[in-house]
Structure 1
Amino acid sequence: MPSNSQRPSDSAVKVSRALSTSRHERVLDSFLHFEYALAAFSEDLLLTARKTLGLVSPTSVPFTSVPLGKTTFQITTSVGYALQTYDLQRGLNLVFLSRPQCPSQITSTCAYRDRVFAAWGGSHPASPRGVWVVKRGQVVGELEVDNTYTQEIERILVFGSWIVGCGKQAIEVWKSDTYEHYTTILPSTPAAASNSKEVFSGQICTLPTILNKVFVGRKDGYIEVYNVSTGRLVHTILAPSANCGSVTALSPALALCLLAVAYADGSLIIFDVESDEKVLELHQKDTKKPITSISFRSDGMGAGDDGRKSGSMATSSIGSGDITLWDLNRGGKIVGVLRGAHETSSLGQATGVNKVEFLPGQPVLISSGLDNSLRSWVFDENPFSPTPRLLHSRSGHSAPVTRLRFLPTASDGSDAAGKWLLSAGSDRSLWGFSLRRDGQSTELSQGAVKHKARKTGLLTDDGPGVEQFKASPIIDMACSLNRDGGMGAVGGQVWANAKTSNAEVTSSTGWESVVTAHLNDRFARTWSWGRKKAGRWAFETGDHKPVTSVTITTCGTFAVIGSAGGSLDMYNLQSGVHRQRYPPRLTPSQVKLLQQQAQSEQILTIPQGHRDAVTGIVVDSLNRTMVSTSLDGSVIFWDFSTGRLLERRADAQAVPTAIRYNPSSGLLALSCDDLCIRIIDIESRKIVRELWGCVGQIYDYCFSHDGRWVVSCSMDSIIRVFDLATGHLIDAFRTATCTSIAFSSTGEFLATTHAGSAGINIWTNKALFTHVSTRQVDEATGVIDLTETAAFQAASQLAIAEAEADADDEIDGIDDESSTVDQLDRSLLTLSIVPQSRWQTLLNLDSIRERNKPIQAPEKPKAAPFFLGSALTNGTGADTSLSTAAAEVEETERSRISRLALASSSQPSHSKISSLLTSFSLERDSRELCDYLTTLPPSAADLEIRSLTLSEMPLFVGALTAQLESRRSFELVNTWMSVFLKVHGDFVADVPGLNDAVREWRSVMQVEEERLSKLVGYTRGIVEFLRSAR
């Protein structure tokens, strides 16, 4: 059980009251498990999961849509363990992300009115499963599940008073008003294969005019009609042929009692259910891939010669990227094919169109694909076009992400907030993701790739795929925005190396700012970040071998590329001209000297570069020193401008595999094949730290923004944080295998990519807004495993925080006629209305008095006229400065006791603070005492505190403790206590009861500080979440 500080919040109680029935205990248990996990981990982790970027529709689960009023539609997609809801009117902007995440992968979804039903789990007998009800991104209920049959629910259907879920083995029915499990319907006949329990194909639909009936497709091509109220089979539609295969899609047509059925052999038949006859049979001519999605246009348009008749149908296949449009009035004629609506791939990953759907009453078609994209298409009426045009699109990487880089700060500070993140994937694309608004994320264009594919005739189902026309996958990239010209930067033909630009024009408009190295490509390619497209230059290596490493200088003018053969070449990004080679070519004088020494049999030492693949290149901020590493085990320091070799360090036992540079600290970090990260000072060129602990190959690592930490990820799936000041491991947690890592320039976020995932996980640096312990972590016992909890997969720990915010949202109303409110609520920390200058003056009164003292005595003028008397003399000519100094000495020698006696002679025997302390000892009410001290000026309050007797000191500390417990005048209480300890701190150990009183005050203060720190950290997290893109 967790400790009291980690117990679940009141939000769990709210959820349990809302669910209130025993069938919803699974939701509550999962939610509590999520809370326990986050509470246990959040105290120890420096980094907490925030969100995941780049996921739109990466799974095979079809999207679901629902009209929202009369103005817009909401489309919900599955991203694995969570749901994302997009608003069509807002341009497919993300509006909701479900929380908490499901314990297992989501298998099907269905939107009904204001709720979304999501089925999850059931992939194997040991896997839990369930159906959750989500409203506005929050789980509000769960359907009761019968665990007699372990199966994935392939489709969910909601109609009337029923909720129907179809799996491969059985059909489950629930009541839509109470979420109670009603019945389980088994197939009428077993599967053809005796060893298989799967009978149904998972396709299910209903006709609006037939009550309580569902149509379920089977794997043998039959369609069975069940009455969900009685659980009986009422009719069977036979398969059209023995070789038609399983039913792959079902959809009701707009005409009465018509049902469209697609089969695995690629055929599509429209049945009249009432007469059990075929109305229309359609076949695709150019492909035999089965149709997996069918939709009918319901706005009465789209068919006929002018498009003003009804009868338009759209179909798609999960094995193809095309969308086919049919005119049913012409006997099922294909009137258009939307080629390449979603990308297909020849790289092995599953791609194609997942689902197509016409929005009710709208000329809009929605499609989603396995390329991790969601698109909306609109049909033009004038002039009429049978094929739609793209309206909105949301997408991301269609394959796992391999490289990450945060954009550096621009010279004008425009991108200083760490907003943009560059990512490269194995799908051969380069993306720029916005951490603030998902709608701003975009792929950097590589030219008219689709046009080239269509022109060559290769954009077909059996073609190589669009990615074959892109550059090969990116293995390294570098960026500098100091000379990026934005949208006004010089453009040109992509990677053509056409020297047509004017230097005067490019110097005023800017040029390319990103350089990338590609797999098995001898050209390093440039990109224009401002124009979001590929640049003009493709830089070739000096030895014509593939590029392995690239970098850009901080000024943004030069790019340096390293090859697999060890060559290093520098290019000018403005003109595309080759400027330097490392080491440089021999001059004629050097060649002549070499020939002479060869004849005299003398040995001439010639500087040599790397003899193997270059693994990393960095250049310091002043373009003075360049450092490169290679697989030959060498680390070479170069003079950047001349190419002269300054120093070579080689260690065959520790081959550097990568290098990173932090400008703020001037430190280099080298990852070596002996699993150590070595830190080198670029000025002294000496090793200052060695960071051990990584197990297996080090995949990636980076400096923090201030150079204090090094964050690494390795083959053992652990992300480690090292503190450079001590060399200790201060944080370690296990995730899915991390492949790339990047820290933002502001230090707010850490971005990670993981094996097999197209998403980018964003982590928040807690050390920026709250105190986090950085003590050394034991490698054996201190690693926290996040893969076993929803904390990592959720990619957002705001679920619990926002639930707690809802629980604490009820505040009693304040009915106070006065303009000044004493305290809104006992749980709130209230400050006084005293001006800040007053209590700050009291806190620093001694310093102010010391500062106001005269620095030196007035000096006598050196040359005064003889006829003028000096201002420092009286009429007798005696120097008054001596008498003044004597008076000051006399005043200084007067004792403190005499002055206190003189002050007390004009005051009553008992001061007011003494009487208030006596009253406090009787009534234990500190408000009158604090009100009195609040009214005093700083000097008077200081005098009252200094005048306390030994017997009054414990009472005074007790009164401050009581005021602190009431959470009023927080800053004044701390100020008074600070002055008291400064004046009477020597008496704490000697006065009876004072030591205990101070200890009690300190314990109360520590509790309040911890509570305040958590509230402030939580508030900042919520504010940053609201400011960011959701």
Structure 2
Amino acid sequence: MSGGGSLAGGGSALFSGFRVLGLYSNHVPHALRYHHKHREFYLVTAVGKCLHTYNVNKLGIVAVGDSLSDDITCLAADRMLVFTASGKLVSAFARNKEVVMRYHGHKQEVRLLLPLGDHLISADSGGDVIVWDVQGGDVYLRLQFEPKTFDVSAMMHPSTYLNKVLLGSSQGALQLWNIKSSKLLFTFPGWSAGVTVLQQSPAVDVVGVGLATGRIIIHNIKFDETMMSFTQDWGPITSLSFRTDGPPILASGSPQGHIALWDLERKQLVTQHRNAHRTAIAAATFLHGEPLLVTNGADNAIKVWIFDREGGGARLLRSRQGHSAPPTTIYHHGIDGKNILSSGQDGTLQSFSTVHERFNKNLGHGSINKKKEQKKKKGLAYEELRLPAITAFSSAAARQSDWDGIVACHRGRRAATTWNYQRCTMGSYHLQPPGSRRDAVATAVDITSCGNFAVIGSSCGRVDIYNLQSGLHRGCYGDNEKAHSGAVRGVATDALNQLTLTAGSDWLLKFWRFKTRKQEQQLKLNAAPASMMLHRDSGMLALALDDFTLQVVDTETRRVVRRFAGHHSNINDMTFSPDGRWLVTAAMDCTIRTWDLPSGSLVDCFLVAMAPVGVSMSPTGDFLATAHVDSLGVYLWTNKSLCGPVGLRPLPTDYQPVVEMLPGVTVDESEQEVPSEEVDDAYKSADQLGLELVTLSLLPESRWKSLLHLDVIKRRNKPVAPPVAPAAAPFFLPTVPGLTPRFTLPAATDRETQSKMLSRGLLSQRSEFSSALESALESGSFDRPVRLLKDCGPAALSVELSCLTPEGGGASSLLLAFVNMIDSMLANGRDFDLAHAYLALFLKLHLRTLSQDTDAMAALLRLSTHMEAGWAGLRSSFDQSLCLLSYTKSALL
């Protein structure tokens, strides 16, 4: 930078990280969990420094774990926690997302984890095997092995073997240890090959052993007997899993991505699924009690296979897969901005949805001859028919329901291919120019806005036009069938099919009539163009030159209107904002820059950790999508200017951008979280949200709505015939009449028994509510009497309120206390409905008595003032809400 000091930036003022699309799995074997409460299986995979949790039923992501300092190297899970190893650190995750414990003690990289009850066993590459106390994080036991003689390569807990662990080594021997007594119980000599996998079978004492030579040993560890063995021809065994829903089937994975299924009764191969994954099978696991096999691999794919075919075969039930090699070109498809087309180095063309993963599409690989490919897919030769990776493509949604709407150029191929977005497959045509040189390569492509024609440029300087409906060649531009003397670096057509623009390595930008294919004008550029992008609505054409500068050409006046310099390396891609005001560029200097065309200045710039190779702005302007070197995902950045005012100012020439973190995966709100089975994470609502709000009780309406009509209900429910007394009354214990019966009265005399009048002394004892109300009048806290009233039914509540007067056994102070209780309930804003129902019944019963009490009337006047003020605030809130709702309805209509 030039002198004067550099200005440090504060990150991007225009874009903020939102989420990443298309990341599902890597080479780390997955872990399975079964949630007893949900009765559902959950799949945990590692993606870089984070772990992702999916429900197996839908393969929808339900949780994303906290990011760790290093990449995750192995995974394990029990009923409560998920354990990960990253470098020398072992971490425990609760609820699949929060780190609740870290285990420090390893000196080398941890590569194996095994949960065992209250303990966790971890083994590193240096020969240390540590048994941890899961809750406390302390080291329970440490075993040290010499890697040269016994390098631990696999671990397993034999079923029903208490405190026992079976260890396998890369030298071939196996050892059975008691981790409680720290004793070596038995050593198995092995089979002269390194152990790669240990797996418990459904039968007790029987273990499946996978070897580096491709052999599978079914061994009884109790009697040290080999029951059977199989041999896989595809290299080392990467995974073993036993089927538990009936058929005795064993599944084995291979480094080539093939899966073999073995019948343990007939001791033979049942079937094989070749190319289940593009890379090695990281893990293949049968769900317990179900005919489902879950697999994952380093090809960024998760697949669920169901065994419902005759002969024991399986078919793909559901999958989530992204690019197995980094994407190179991305482009928004359609006008809604919800789908992003992406081509990767793996040769596939995929569509990622910004709405939900279930809308993702995989258009597959290109093939030289589809009919031959279908015939040879049963063998390994069909790999030879696949086309190389896509280097450039263009799409149009105008006629995609009628014919192919995507045209792509492939590395080293002369012919361009067509693709059908609706059918998610390669199209019918190979667009190859007639009579062209054999060493020519298609380098640039563009589809007209109407979706009828495709313009394709090649490395020999040709620019040809094709009809997409028929796939026929309709002509070429230039004299002698050459539009440029060098390779064509970019082609574009305007919105009305009047103009065709081509840029070549001969430093020329040429303007052609679309229909007559005659050249009208040409511009000499400052350097050879690397790529170009046309914004059809504004007519602005951006060119990225080999000298790391940008030029913007107005196609109406056909003059260079803007020149931008600032990148320090090759400009990989660029895109316009929907209104044509901004030009966003991505370069190998790891910067993403936003240029403002009206002011001709740089208004935003930020750094990313990995160099961006592709960039695309949504047609709606809400998201910016980027693809990066050595990354399999497509990253989305939100446009801050759509959410609020953003002050964009020209950045100085010595501006130093700040590194922005790449966004991570977010959990879809429609999917269910995975809570811990023992920890209750249910949200508990607050008693009261605010003083200006009111809270209703959760009691049913029958407990308070019928209080004013109890007399009507009693008359309606009165029996037609009076009850008939029994001939001989049974013996009973005398009780005190009242709400709480007590056996404390002396035996009644005959004279008292004949009297039907109750003495005053029987009603002199107060109820629990009256006592609590009297105590609350002194303390000022009315919580206890309110709780007692909530427990009473309508009839009991009426009796309680009737007993508050002196005639009913109460006192004048209880009437005043009840009024104060209602005032306290309204002041707190809690149980709003109950307070009004209780007050209405209270006034109905005691209004005449209250009118003769001066203190009670003063309290009622204060209560009336508070009620009017409270209702005025509520009425204002109701009116405001109704007004807003009416305005919204009128706007929608």
TM-score (norm: length of structure 2)? 0.71
Tell me: CA distance 1:234–1:46, structure 2 relative to 1, closer, same or farther (3 Å): farther
Aligned residue number for residue 359 of structure 2: 440
- Give 1:783-862 correspondences, 5 Å limit: 783-786=657-660, 791-792=661-662, 794=664, 812-814=686-688, 822=692
Amino acid paired to 2:78 = Y
Query: What residue is the counterpart of 1:260 in the other structure?
Result: 208
Q: Distance in 2 between matches of 1:534 and 1:450?
A: 9
Equivalent in the alignment of 1:238: 189
Residue 481 of structure 1: aligned partner: 397
What's the offset of the Cα at 1:822? 4.2
Structure 1 residue 75 and structure 2 residue 43: aligned?
yes
Alignment match, 1:183: 141
Aligned mates of 1:810, 1:44 — CA distance in 2: 38
What SS does structure 2 have at the residue aligned with 1:556? coil
Larger strand share, 1 or 2? 2
Q: Which amino acid aligns with 1:321?
A: G
Kindly provide the amino acid, as one letter, of the partner of residue 739 in structure 1: V
Mapped contact 2:635–2:663 kept (Cα < 8 A): no
Q: Secondary structure at the match of 1:106?
A: coil
Aligned to 1:371: 299
Is 2:123 the partner of 1:166?
Answer: yes
Equivalent residue number for residue 105 of structure 1: 71
For the pair 1:337 / 2:303, whether they are aligned, the reply is: no
CA contact (8 A) 1:426 1:473 kept: yes
Aligned equivalent of 1:561: 456
SS in 1 for 2:110: coil
Q: Which residue of 2 aligns with 1:354?
A: 282
SS at match of 2:624: strand
CA contact (8 A) 2:9 2:656 kept: no
- 1:638 — aligned with what? 512
| Contact kept in structure 2, 1:428 and 1:467, CA below 8 Å | no
Corresponding position of 1:295: 241
**Per-residue displacement from partner, 1:967-997 (whole Å, max 9, x unpaired)?**
xx99xxxxxxxxxxxxxxxxxxxxxxxxxxx
Q: Identify if the C-alpha distance between structure 1 residues 733 and 341 changes in structure 2 by more than 3 Å, giving closer, same or farther.
A: same
Partners of 2:239 and 2:373 in 1: how far apart?
Answer: 26
Tell me if structure 1 keeps the 8 A contact 2:406–2:418. yes
Write the distance in 2 (CA, Å) between the matches of 1:570 and 1:669: 22
Question: Whole-Å Cα distance in 1 between the matches of residues 214 and 373 of structure 2?
Answer: 25
The structural deviation recorded for 1:182 is 2.7
Shift in CA distance, 191/66, structure 1 to aligned 2, threshold 3 Å: same
Letter in 1 for 2:342: S
What CA distance in whole angstroms lies between the structure 1 residues aligned with 2:20 and 2:159?
39
Structure 2 partner of 1:724: 597
Deviation at 1:180, TM superposition (A): 3.6
Given that 2:10 and 2:658 are in contact with CA atoms closer than 8 Å, whether structure 1 keeps it comes out as no
Amino acid at match of 1:49: G
Give 1:227's aligned residue.
178
Instruction: Tell me the secondary structure at the aligned position of residue 627 of structure 2.
Output: strand
Q: Which amino acid aligns with 2:566?
A: G
| Equivalent-residue separation in structure 2 for 1:112 and 1:397 (angstroms) | 30
Which amino acid in the other structure matches residue 484 of structure 1? Q
Name structure 2 gaps, 5 residues minimum. Answer: 1-7, 674-680, 696-875, 878-893
> For 1:206-252, what per-residue CA distance to the aligned partner results, in whole angstroms no more than 9, with x for missing partners?
012111111122121111222223444333222223xx2x2111111
Compute the RMSD of aligned alpha carbons: 3.2
Residues 165 and 671 of structure 1, relative CA distance in 2, 3 Å threshold: same
List alignment gaps of at least 5 residues for structure 1.
Answer: 1-39, 123-128, 193-198, 302-310, 344-350, 410-415, 486-509, 587-607, 826-968, 971-1030
Alignment CA distance shift 1:132-1:49 (3 Å): farther
State how far apart, in whole Å, the 2-side matches of 1:537 and 1:454 are: 17
Corresponding position of 1:133? 93
Structure 1 partner of 2:529: 656
Deviations 1:349-374 (A, max 9, x none): xx222211111111111112222211
The alignment partner of 2:73 has SS state of: strand
Deviations 1:473-492 (A, max 9, x none): 1111111111121xxxxxxx
Query: CA 1:427 to 1:101, structure 2 compared with 1: closer, same or farther past 3 Å?
Result: same
The secondary structure found in structure 1 opposite 2:656 is coil
Partner of 2:333: 407
User: 8 Å contact 2:339–2:352 — kept in the other structure?
Assistant: yes
Residues 202 and 778 of structure 1: CA distance in aligned 2, closer, same or farther (over 3 Å): farther
- Structure 1 residues 293, 699: closer, same or farther in 2, change over 3 A? same
Aligned-partner Cα distance in 1 for 2:291–2:666: 36
The corresponding residue for 2:871 is none
Letter of the 2:363 counterpart: L
Deviation at 1:140, TM superposition (A): 4.3
* Alignment partner of 2:164 out of 191, 201, 213: 213
1:329 is paired with a residue whose SS is coil
The alignment covers a number of residue pairs equal to: 679
Q: Deviations over 1:530-560 (max 9, x none)?
A: 2222222221135342211000111111111
Cα separation, 1, equivalents of 2:685 and 2:241: 50
Q: Does 1:671 align with 2:630?
A: no
Q: Partner of 1:880 in structure 2?
A: none
Q: Distance in 2 between matches of 1:400 and 1:560?
A: 27
- Equivalences for 1:19-168 in 2 at 5 Å? 44-57=12-25, 59-69=26-36, 71-90=39-58, 92-98=59-65, 100-122=66-88, 129-135=89-95, 137-146=96-105, 149-168=106-125
**1:315 alignment partner in structure 2:** 252
Shift of 1:636: 0.2
Superposed CA deviations along residues 935-975 of structure 1, whole A, max 9, x for unmatched, are xxxxxxxxxxxxxxxxxxxxxxxxxxxxxxxxxx99xxxxx
Bigger shift: residues 630-639 or 64-73: 64-73
Where 1:439 maps in the other structure, the secondary structure is helix
Distance (Å, rounded) in 2 between the aligned partners of 1:294 and 1:115: 23
Give the drift of 1:144: 2.5
Contact 1:155 1:167 in 2 (8 A): yes
Aligned residue in 2 for 1:281 = 229
| Whole-angstrom CA distance in 1 between matches of 2:175 and 2:342 | 48
Alpha-carbon contact 2:502-2:509 (below 8 Å) kept: yes
CA deviation vs aligned residue, 1:274-313 (integer Å, no higher than 9, x gap): 22332323323x44x1112111111222xxxxxxxxx321
Could you report, residue by residue, the CA deviation over 1:157-196 in whole angstroms, capped at 9, with x for unpaired residues? 2122111122222112222334444333211x4514xxxx
1:280–1:398 distance in 2 versus 1, CA, 3 Å: same
Structure 1 residues 612 and 685, CA gap change in structure 2 (3 angstroms): same
**8 Å contact kept, 1:101–1:794:** no
**Conserved 8 A contact 1:119-1:132:** no
For 1:371 and 1:271, the matched residues in 2 are separated by 32
For the 8 Å contact 2:347–2:387, the answer to whether it is kept is yes
Match of 2:824 in 1: none
- Deviating more after overlay: 642-651 vs 539-548: 539-548
Q: Which residue of 2 aligns with 1:985?
A: none
The answer to whether the 8 Å contact 1:49/1:796 transfers is: no
Residues 1:257 and 1:812: Cα distance change in structure 2 (over 3 Å): closer
